[in-house]
Amino acid sequence: MSENATPKIDLTRLPTEGVNPRSADLDRLSVLEIVQLINQEDQGVALAVQKVLPAVAQVAEAVAEALSGGHRLFYSGAGTSGRLGVLDASECPPTYGTDPAQVQGIIAGGFEALIRSGEGVEDDRAAGGKDLLARGVQAGDVVIAVAASGRTPYALGALEAARQAGARTAAVTCYPGSPVGQMADVAIEVLVGPEVLSGSTRMKAGTAQKMVLNMITTTAMVRLGKAYGNLMVDVQPTNAKLVERARRIVTLATGCSYEQASEALDQANRQVKTAIVMVKAGIGAEEARLLLKQHKGFIRRALEARGISG
C-alpha cells in the first residue's frame, strides 16, 4: 500500500460516527421539535469540555510560553476542523493585536477549502507535513492538530512533521485514544457522543472544538498581558465599531469621561493600552509607551512601577 493510499476505515469504532438513539425519528419531527432536540444535545457539549480542562490548560500554558518566546502557534486540520483552526487564528490579530504570522491556521486544500468543501484532500498525509514545513515550523513552536475523528491523515502528517522539527504538539479530537491523540504530546479528547445527524461533525464535535480553541488562545493572550481585567486592551480599532469599543474600554479601565478617552486615544495613535496608562498615570503618550515596553506590555505592572494601584 502506498503512503497516501486510503486504508479501510472501521467507522463503527469512531464515536463521531455513532448513531444517536435520541434522534432516531429525526425525519418525523416538526421543525420546532428538531431545533429543540439539537439544542438539548448541544447543552451537553460544555459539560464534555469541562472534563478535559486540565489538558486544555496544559496546552494553553505551552502556547503562552511559546508566543512569549517569539515562537508561533499552528493549527492543522481538514474540513470543519481545519476551518475552525483558520477561524481562531484569523481572529487573533484584530482582537489581540498579534502579528498574523504568530498564530496560523493551515487547512487541507488551502484557501479554496475554506469556501468550498473538498473533503478528499484530508486523506493526503504527506500534504499535512509539507504544508506545515512550508510555513517554516521549528523547535519552540506549538502545532495543534484539530481532527474530530482523531484519524485524519492530513493532521497526522502535520504532527509527524512537527515532531521532526522539534515543535511541541497537541491534538483536539472527539475520539479518546485516537491515532492523532496518541501521536501528540498532549491530547484534548472531548467525548461529545453521536451527533443528532449521524456523522455530521460540524455540529457537536465542531462546537466542542471551537470552544477548546477559543479557550487556548484567549487564555494564552491573557497570560501575555493582552487583557486588563477582562478588557481586550490590544484590540485594533480598524473600523467605526472598534473605535467606539476602544473608547469604551479606556473609560471602563480608567473611569475617565468619554471625551478624555477620545483625546487620549487620539494622542496614543489609537493604542488602547497606551491611552489607559496615559490617563491613569497622568503622563504623555511617549512616556506611556516606554513604560509599557519596559514591562512587556502588561498594564498592571507598568502602573504598579509608578506606584499606582493596578
What is the tens place of the pLDDT at every residue in 137-179?
Answer: 999 999 999 999 999 999 999 999 999 999 999 999 999 999 9
Compute the distance between CA of residue 145 and CA of residue 79 in angstroms, rounded to an integer: 12
Domains and CATH numbers, the chain: 11-223 (3.40.50.10490), 240-305 (1.10.8.1080)
Of the residues 41, 122, 189, 195, which is catalytic? 122
Summarised one tens digit per residue, pLDDT across range 64-97 is 999 999 999 999 999 999 999 999 999 999 999 9
Smallest CA-to-CA distance from 143 within 199, 91, 75 is with 75
Compute the distance between CA of residue 262 and CA of residue 78 in angstroms, rounded to an integer: 44
Of the residues 91, 160, 263, 287, which is catalytic? 91
Query: Does pTM top 0.75 for this prediction?
Result: yes
Active site residue 91: yes
Q: Is 210 exposed, middle or buried (0-12, 13-18, 19+ CB in 10 A)?
A: buried
Q: Which residue is listed with cell 469599543?
A: 245
